Amino acid sequence: MTALSLILPSTEGRGSVGSCSLNSLVVLLVLGLLGYWSINTYSTWRRLRHISGPRSAGFSKWWMLRNTLGGSMHLALKAACEAHDHLARIAPNTLVTDDPEVIKRQWAVRSKYTKSDWYDAVRFDPSRDNIISLRDDEQHNALRAKMAAGYAGKENEGLEHGIDRGIVAFIEMIERKYVSEGAIYRPMDLARKSQYLTLDIIGDLAFGKDFGHLAEDKDVFEYIDQTEASMPVMMLVGVFPVLARIARSRLLRRFMPSENDPHGFGKFIGVAKQVVADRLLAKDPERNDMLASFLRHGLTREEAEGEALVNIIAGSDTTATAIRTTMLYLMSSPQAYRKLAHEVRTAAAQGRLSSPITDEEARNLPYLQAVIKEGLRVFPPVTGLMPTVVPPGGDVIRGVPVPEGTEIGWSAFGVQHNKEVYGIDAETFRPERWLDVKDEEQLRSMTSTWELVFKYGKWQCLGKTVALMELNKVFVEILRRYDFGLLNPPSPWNSFSAGIFIQSELWVKVTRV
SS3 494: strand
Instruction: Tell me the binding residues for heme.
Output: 461
Q: Is the pLDDT score of 339 beyond 90?
A: yes
Give the list of residues 6+ apart from residue 204 with CB closer than 8 angstroms, or none: 162, 163, 165, 166, 210
Q: What is the mean pLDDT of residues 231-245?
A: 83
Is the model more confident about 2 or about 360?
Answer: 360
Q: What is the mean pLDDT of residues 21-41?
A: 71
pLDDT reported for residue 314: 79
Q: Is the pLDDT score of 3 beyond 50?
A: no
Q: CATH homologous superfamily for 52-512?
A: Cytochrome P450 (1.10.630.10)
Q: What percentage of the chain reaches a pLDDT higher than 70?
A: 91
Each residue's pLDDT tens digit, 357-376:
999 999 999 999 999 999 99
Is the model more confident about 9 or about 61?
Answer: 61
What are the φ/ψ torsions at residue 192 (nearest 5 degrees)?
-70, -40
Residue 132: count of CB within 10 angstroms of its CB: 21
Each residue's pLDDT tens digit, 456-484:
999 999 999 999 999 999 999 999 999 99
Q: What is the mean pLDDT of residues 202-228?
A: 88
pLDDT reported for residue 38: 63
Q: What is the mean pLDDT of residues 351-362?
A: 96
Query: 454 near 380, Cβ under 8 Å?
Result: no
Is the model more confident about 99 or about 266?
Answer: 99
Judged on CB neighbours under 10 Å (0-12, 13-18, 19+), 214 is buried
The average confidence (pLDDT) of the chain is 89
Each residue's pLDDT tens digit, 269-295:
787 788 888 888 877 666 777 888 888
Partners of 400 in beta bridges: 397
Query: 178 near 188, Cβ under 8 Å?
Result: yes
Q: What is the mean pLDDT of residues 86-90?
A: 98
Q: Is the pLDDT score of 258 beyond 90?
A: no
Is the model more confident about 281 or about 161?
Answer: 161
Query: 108 near 415, Cβ under 8 Å?
Result: no
Query: 98 near 410, Cβ under 8 Å?
Result: yes
Q: What is the mean pLDDT of residues 76-88?
A: 97
Each residue's pLDDT tens digit, 116-125:
999 988 887 7
Is the model more confident about 166 or about 245?
Answer: 166
Q: Is the pLDDT score of 144 beyond 50?
A: yes
Query: 484 near 510, Cβ under 8 Å?
Result: yes
CA angle 49, 69, 428 (to 5 degrees): 85
pLDDT reported for residue 459: 95
Which of 498, 149, 486, 167 is closest to 332 using CA atoms?
486
User: Cα(422)–Cα(375) distance, rounded to whole angstroms?
Assistant: 14
Residue 470: count of CB within 10 angstroms of its CB: 25
User: Cα(462)–Cα(454) distance, rounded to whole angstroms?
Assistant: 8
User: Cα(184)–Cα(190) distance, rounded to whole angstroms?
Assistant: 18
pLDDT reported for residue 226: 80
Helix (H) or strand (E) holding 507: strand 507-512
pLDDT reported for residue 74: 95
Helix (H) or strand (E) holding 207: helix 190-207
Is the model more confident about 301 or about 258?
Answer: 301
pLDDT level of residue 256 (50, 70, 90 thresholds): low
Q: Is the pLDDT score of 200 beyond 80?
A: yes
Instruction: Tell me the binding residues.
Output: 461
